[in-house]
């Protein structure tokens, strides 16, 4: 498997260079068509229909290996890479990361179910959530997950009660827990994905964290291991991670530190390159040790988008093209398969899958009954017309996860591609699926 990307070296393709927002190994073939995982995008569209999420399997594996190797290269003996499953909660993706030895971050009973179903041993699962229910905590205790990240005082009381009721399978061992801290550190990102500020719905403020630590030490059946902070997502600077580690150190030394996820990715080729996986991991390891983490301590990180976003492209078919003030190119998907542009103005780029040299300004619109259903406001496409296959890269994080059936649109399949072979790992929904929950 090829090594991981160098951001300064765009992947070269036949005749045309292809931005590294595309999955590892993507290229334009001799017909000028996009190939992902050795598979021709136009043929994929023909065989599996559109919209479709197309994932280069080797890309996911390479990134997982790059994270693990970076920890070892940075000298961190006990280093756990925890995939934030919310980014791409598809069984095949989770299975792949479980095979690669990663851990899994889950934020609900459903995600816990998915992680266990995909083969993550419970001891490699980290449970999050600011509103965990009794049922979710019970499930975590029964499976004795690797870590429960405690978010609030109510949760401490609930756990105490559930343990007293006998929900913990082995009380002698104790359920390992971390305290989630909001260190009042703000990274440069969209306010909707910023979580480290004092007024966040997640975790304990510094003062409350001290009290939570003291209380947790008294709860029989819970084993306080350390601290957690996730300051936000799509971060392109390393300084906020260092600042978060420094803040956590104020709360004392612990054998386990989890510095969350948040490493940003490139969604369009004109965006600045984020720090590399190696730079990011080295900075985290360095910061953890500079701020009191013991040499034999365990360090966890929880990347989501940095593991999966760039592994995937979405294929659409153009249904109509019209011109008024703008040139509107309407495709067969939209906010039901990628909500991010509508939710927080996330930028994407688009191409006609067999004509990449586009320079005609277009608005790439979805098919949903909302004016805001626009995938790319400033696409540059070459002569787009009905029937063309359009590709948007970097759709492997929070697209599948936030997909919906708005307007009765069925959710797309996930197709894994590797060395020229394509296989559906999650099928397209059918119209029957739309009525599957009806009680008649
Ligand atoms: C607790 C926690 N960890 C990890 C992540 C993953 O973030 P990212 O995909 O930006 O790496 C999130 C995202 O919401 C999160 O809330």
**CATH number of domain containing 281:** 3.20.20.10
Count of domains forming the chain: 2
Q: Cα of 151 to ligand 1 centre, how many Å?
A: 15
Q: Cα of 240 to ligand 1 centre, how many Å?
A: 15
Residue 19 lies in a domain: yes
Helix (H), strand (E) at residue 161? helix 153-164
Clarify whether residues 328 and 291 are in a common domain: no
Residue 190 lies in a domain: yes
| H helices present in 267-420, as ranges | 277-290, 305-308, 340-344
Clarify whether residues 107 and 32 are in a common domain: no
Average pLDDT, stretch 134-138? 98
Give residue ranges with CB within 6 A of ligand 1.
84, 87, 105, 128, 230, 233-234, 260-263, 302-306, 397
CB 220 within 8 A of CB 213: no
Domain limits at 390? 11-56+309-434
Please list, in sequence order, all residues whose beta carbon lies within 8 angstroms of the beta carbon of residue 436, skipping any fewer than 6 positions away.
Answer: none
**pLDDT tens for each residue of 218-235:** 999 999 999 999 999 999
- For ligand 1, atom 16, name the residue with the nearest CA: 230
To test the ligand 1 pocket, which listed residue (261, 277, 300) has its Cβ within 8 A of the most ligand atoms? 261
pLDDT averaged over every residue in the chain: 93
Clarify whether residues 403 and 426 are in a common domain: yes
**pLDDT tens for each residue of 233-260:** 999 999 999 999 999 999 999 999 999 9
User: Ligand 1, closest atom to CA 305?
Assistant: 9
CB 27 within 8 A of CB 18: yes
Clarify whether residues 112 and 173 are in a common domain: yes
What integer pLDDT is reported at residue 20 of this predicted model?
85
Clarify whether residues 298 and 313 are in a common domain: no
Please say which residue of 257, 277, 303 terminates a domain.
Answer: 303
What integer pLDDT is reported at residue 155 of this predicted model?
98
Q: Is the pLDDT assigned to residue 12 strictly greater than 90? A: no
Clarify whether residues 93 and 216 are in a common domain: yes
What integer pLDDT is reported at residue 262 of this predicted model?
96
Residue 67 lies in a domain: no
* Burial call 236-251: b when 16+ CB within 10 Å, e when fewer: bebebbbbbbebbbeb
CB 395 within 8 A of CB 346: no
**pLDDT tens for each residue of 316-348:** 999 999 999 999 999 999 999 999 999 999 999
Residue 440 lies in a domain: no
**pLDDT tens for each residue of 373-422:** 999 999 999 999 999 999 999 999 999 999 999 999 999 999 999 999 99
Q: Cα of 232 to ligand 1 centre, how many Å?
A: 7
What integer pLDDT is reported at residue 76 of this predicted model?
96
Average pLDDT, stretch 26-55? 97
Q: Is the pLDDT assigned to residue 75 strictly greater than 70? A: yes
What integer pLDDT is reported at residue 158 of this predicted model?
97
To test the ligand 1 pocket, which listed residue (131, 203, 233) has its Cβ within 8 A of the most ligand atoms? 233
Residue 361 lies in a domain: yes
pTM higher than the cut 0.75: yes
Clarify whether residues 171 and 285 are in a common domain: yes
Clarify whether residues 215 and 232 are in a common domain: yes
Residue 66 lies in a domain: no
What integer pLDDT is reported at residue 171 of this predicted model?
65
What integer pLDDT is reported at residue 188 of this predicted model?
65
Q: Which of 90, 104, 312, 369 is catalytic?
A: 369
Please report, for residues 112, 153, 241, the alpha-carbon distance to residue 135 in angstroms, rounded to integers and kept in the order given. 12, 17, 33
Higher pLDDT, residue 349 or 172: 349
Average pLDDT, stretch 26-35? 95
Residue 62 lies in a domain: no
Kindly state the DSSP code that residue 312 receives in the 8-state scheme: E
Average pLDDT, stretch 7-11? 40
Exposed, middle or buried by CB within 10 Å (0-12, 13-18, 19+), for 66? buried
Q: Residue 426 and residue 416: Cα distance in Å, rounded?
A: 9
Q: Cα of 76 to ligand 1 centre, how many Å?
A: 22
Q: Using the structure block, give the residue that is written with the tokens 């940003």.
A: 264
Please say which residue of 303, 325, 360 terminates a domain.
Answer: 303
Instruction: For residue 426, indicate whether it is catalytic.
Output: no
Please list, in sequence order, all residues whose beta carbon lies within 8 angstroms of the beta carbon of residue 421, skipping any fewer than 6 positions away.
Answer: 38, 39
Dihedrals phi, psi of 72, to nearest 5 degrees: -65, -40
**pLDDT tens for each residue of 156-195:** 999 999 999 998 877 667 999 999 999 988 776 666 666 6
User: Ligand 1, closest atom to CA 260?
Assistant: 3
Q: Cα of 4 to ligand 1 centre, how many Å?
A: 22
To test the ligand 1 pocket, which listed residue (240, 262, 401) has its Cβ within 8 A of the most ligand atoms? 262
What integer pLDDT is reported at residue 6 of this predicted model?
44
What integer pLDDT is reported at residue 228 of this predicted model?
97
Q: Is the pLDDT assigned to residue 14 strictly greater than 60? A: no
- For ligand 1, atom 12, name the residue with the nearest CA: 261
Q: Is the pLDDT assigned to residue 121 strictly greater than 60? A: yes
Q: Cα of 131 to ligand 1 centre, how many Å?
A: 16
């Amino acid at each position: 498997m090829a090594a991981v990307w160098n951001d300064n070296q765009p992947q070269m393709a036949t005749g045309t260079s292809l931005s590294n927002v595309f999955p590892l190994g993507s290229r334009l073939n001799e017909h000028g068509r996009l190939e992902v995982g050795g598979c021709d995008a136009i043929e994929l569209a023909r065989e599996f229909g559109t919209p479709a999420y197309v994932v280069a399997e080797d890309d996911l594996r390479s990134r997982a290996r790059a994270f693990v190797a970076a920890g070892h290269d940075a000298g961190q003996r006990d280093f756990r890479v925890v995939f934030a499953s919310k980014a791409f909660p598809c069984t095949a993706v989770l299975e792949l990361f479980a095979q690669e030895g990663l851990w899994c971050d889950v934020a609900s009973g459903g995600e816990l179910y998915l992680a266990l179903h995909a083969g993550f041993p419970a001891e490699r699962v980290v449970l999050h959530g600011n509103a965990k229910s009794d049922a979710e905590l019970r499930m975590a205790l029964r499976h004795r997950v690797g870590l429960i990240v405690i978010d609030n005082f109510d949760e401490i009381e609930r756990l105490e009660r559930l343990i007293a009721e006998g929900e913990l399978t082995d009380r002698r061992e104790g359920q390992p827990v971390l305290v989630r801290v909001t260190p009042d550190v703000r990274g440069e990102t969209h306010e909707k994905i910023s979580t480290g500020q004092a007024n966040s719905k997640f975790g304990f403020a510094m003062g409350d964290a001290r009290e939570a630590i003291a209380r947790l030490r008294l709860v029989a059946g819970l084993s306080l291991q350390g601290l957690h902070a996730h300051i936000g997502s799509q971060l392109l600077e390393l300084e906020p991670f260092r600042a978060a580690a420094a803040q956590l150190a104020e709360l004392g030394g612990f054998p386990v530190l989890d510095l969350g996820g948040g490493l940003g990715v490139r969604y369009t080729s004109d965006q600045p390159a984020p720090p590399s996986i190696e730079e990011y991991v080295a900075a985290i390891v360095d910061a953890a040790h500079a701020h009191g983490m013991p040499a034999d301590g365990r360090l966890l990180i929880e990347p989501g988008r940095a593991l999966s976003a760039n592994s995937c492209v979405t294929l659409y078919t153009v249904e109509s093209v019209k011109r008024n003030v703008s040139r509107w190119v309407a495709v067969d998907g939209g906010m039901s398969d990628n909500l991010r542009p509508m939710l927080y103005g996330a930028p994407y780029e688009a191409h006609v899958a067999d004509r990449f040299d586009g320079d005609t300004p277009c608005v790439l619109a979805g098919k949903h009954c909302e004016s805001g259903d626009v995938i790319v406001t400033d696409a540059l496409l070459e002569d787009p017309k009905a029937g063309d296959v359009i590709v948007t890269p970097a759709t492997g994080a929070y697209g599948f996860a936030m997909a919906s059936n708005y307007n009765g649109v069925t959710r797309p399949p996930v197709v894994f591609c590797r060395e020229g072979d394509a296989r559906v790992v999650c099928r397209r929904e059918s119209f029957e699926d739309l009525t599957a929950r009806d009680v008649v």
